[in-house]
Amino acid sequence: MSGLLAGLQPAELMQLTVIVPVVGAFAILALGRWENLRDAASLLTASCLFYVVYRLYPVVAAGGRPDLVLMDMVPGLSIRLTLEPLGMIFAGIASFLWIVTTLYAIGYMRGHHEENQTRFYFFFAIAIASAMGVAMSGNMLTLFVFYEVLSVSTYPLVAHHGTDEAKRGARVYLSILLTTSIVFLLMGMIWTFTLTGNLDFVKGGIFKPDQLQDPLAGILLALYAFGIGKAALMPFHRWLPAAMVAPTPVSALLHAVAVVKAGVFSVLKVAVYVFGLDLMAATPSADVMLYVAAFTMIAASLVAMRQDNLKRRLAYSTVSQLSYIVVGAFLAHPDAAVGGAMHIATHAFGKITLFFCAGAILVASHKTEISQMRGLGRKMPVTFICFMLGSLSIIGLPPFAGMWSKWYLALGAASTHEYIVVAAFMLSSLLNVAYLLPIAIRGFYSNPGPEPANAHGDDGHGNGHDDAHHVPSTVSFGISGIEEAPLFSLAAICVTTAGCVVLFFYPDALFQLASQLVAP
């Protein structure tokens, strides 16, 4: 692999980040009849993509900004790839977690006897290609194109089970995302192009002094913020809980690997490269969106506390955590922007761990409701310990990665004297404790509850399966009473949990990239 890429320039490597997943997707489709070969092709494609992204890291870390115009549309408007520090963070996280999610999916999809697995892996690869396009976008037009492809390509994944509930959830998912992007985001882009004559991402923003005055600047900012529906600001957040009808690997894709991260990545990129932090700071009406994001952070946490279904609780937790990054963008302070960029990575590892654990619980015990999980940690100790550690990272406690991003976000809020936002951060973290830690505590310290009605292979959405030629649903390690999820899934959970710790002790590479985002 190293020899094949040795002579390629950074711009050519950027193209490969989109090409490799697409080629892999069709290889997966061709090998669909041979599931071992198909799954191996998916793992190989994910590994190749990560290696390509890894080869780009030294270039960006050294200050390079690979740039490639693919197609000129009209003067000042092109399909263009450019890799900068924020895109490097997003591409690195998405490509690495694709490997881990594929490993997890092999255990989950077989252990849960899911149908249409080849279709699942195909569209997963297409979604990752779209996410790479978003990460490498050199202007808003390119980002918009890949953003829409990402929405459409994930629709079959959300509707994977084919039930009425799955189709209904997928319709809500796609309708909200397409409506917000076409009605709000596209309007904001047209308005921006009319004022500036281009949509390129430029350090410090593309607006000239006095070109965009308040309150028009605030209105335009709102169009972008609500138009990027994947950021899940209230009231345009319902697509995220609705999408929880999907299989757990899809939930991991939505919440940690690609979709929501594409949303908050886009918001942060618009703040830094379209508006510029100076213009944002000089726009009083921008505070309206800041407080909308802070409200979303608290309100979603309160809703999460009332959810008994584990995936729905985690979904509303994601809505809340995404708003941390949006707040980081709207605070218009370098420390807050650094914290927002770091939170893209730290939240990804924490939240994907929690969703992996939720899927492991479903596969091993067929339980979906938190009230059913009393004493379950004694049968699944590895899963519940990892859930506890992932929760601590989401809360932001040391020695876990989430502490660093929350520290810089709070520092940015304090530096701008936004004490209401500081209070919102503190309250949200306390609510994180209230709705996450009791799950693991219930698992270890409560007496076992009654078996759920769907204890024989149903996933809570009427999708029981009985394929006979798949791997066993649990692994016992030879210890009486221990029944964990399939080994591949358990290995993936341990990897992402380790990532929560490693990023605490070794955050330098992530911090340096995030700092470049706001460097003079």
User: What tens digit of pLDDT does each residue of 305-364 get?
Assistant: 999 999 999 999 999 999 999 999 999 999 999 999 999 999 999 999 999 999 899 888
When pLDDT is averaged across residues 63-82 and rounded to a whole number, the result is 89
- Predicted pLDDT at 285: 85
% of the chain residues with pLDDT over 90: 66
Question: What is the torsional sign of CA 309, 315, 319, 325?
Answer: positive
pLDDT at 466: 36
Where does the pLDDT of residue 298 fall: very low under 50, low under 70, confident under 90, or very high at 90 and above?
very high
CA atoms within 13 A on the CB side of 173: 29
pLDDT exceeds 60 at position 121 = yes
> In angstroms, rounded to a whole number, what is the distance separating the alpha carbons of residues 414 and 305?
28
Which three-class secondary structure state does DSSP give residue 82? strand
Check residue 256 and give its pLDDT.
73
Note the pLDDT of residue 283: 86
Task: Collect all residues with Cβ–Cβ distance below 8 Å to 37 and sequence separation of at least 6.
Answer: 31
State yes or no: pLDDT of 57 exceeds 90: yes
* Secondary structure E strands in 76-188: 77-82
* CB proximity list for 179: less than 8 A, separation 6 or greater: 229
Query: Is 280:330 a contact under the CB 8 Å cutoff?
Result: yes
How confident is the model over 198-254, as pLDDT tens digits? 899 998 899 887 778 888 888 999 999 999 998 889 998 899 888 888 888 887 777
C-alpha span between 70 and 14 (Å, rounded): 11
Contact at 8 Å (CB) between 245 and 158?
yes
pLDDT in tens, 373-386: 998 998 999 999 99
Q: Report the pLDDT value the prediction gives residue 112, as an integer from 0 to 100.
A: 74
pLDDT number for residue 480: 52
Q: For residue 196, give the nearest of 211, 215, 182 by alpha carbon.
A: 211
Cα–Cα distance measured from residue 283 to residue 275, given in angstroms and rounded to the nearest whole number:
10
State the angle between helix axes of 164-180 and 140-158 in degrees (0 to 180), rounded to the nearest 10.
170
Burial class (CB in 10 A: 0-12, 13-18, 19+), 515: middle
pLDDT value of position 314 = 93
- pLDDT at position 446, please? 73
| Longest CA pairwise span in the chain (Å) | 72
- Distance (Å, rounded) from C-alpha 280 to C-alpha 333? 9
Mean pLDDT score across all residues of the chain: 88
Q: What pLDDT, in 10s, does the model give residues 261-291?
A: 899 999 999 999 999 999 888 888 888 999 9
Nearest to 509 by CA among 415, 404, 409: 404
For residue 19, give the 3-state DSSP assignment.
Answer: helix
pLDDT tier for residue 454 given thresholds of 50, 70 and 90: very low
Cβ atoms 10, 118 nearer than 8 A: no
Sign of torsion over alpha carbons 461, 463, 464, 468: negative
Query: Which two three-digit tokens encode residue 184?
Result: 């709000």
Eight-class DSSP state of 72: E
**What's the confidence (pLDDT) of residue 211?**
79
**Token duo for residue 360:** 């492991």
CB contact at 8 A, 194 and 188: no
Q: Does 470 have pLDDT greater than 60?
A: no
Q: What is the pLDDT of residue 459?
A: 46
Rounded-to-integer distance, Cα 334 and Cα 317, Å: 26
Neighbours of 307 (CB within 10 A): 19
Are 78 and 459 in contact by the 8 Å Cβ rule? The answer is: no
Using N-to-C axis directions, what is the helix angle for 35-61 and 10-30, rounded to 10°? 170
Residue 272, C-beta contacts closer than 8 angstroms, at least 6 positions apart: 86, 203, 205, 329, 337, 517, 518
State both tokens at 11: 């711009």
What is the value of pTM for the model shown?
A: 0.91
- Reported confidence tier of residue 481, pLDDT bands at 50, 70, 90: low
Is residue 492 scored above 70 in pLDDT? yes
Report the distance separating Cα 520 and Cα 162, nearest Å: 51
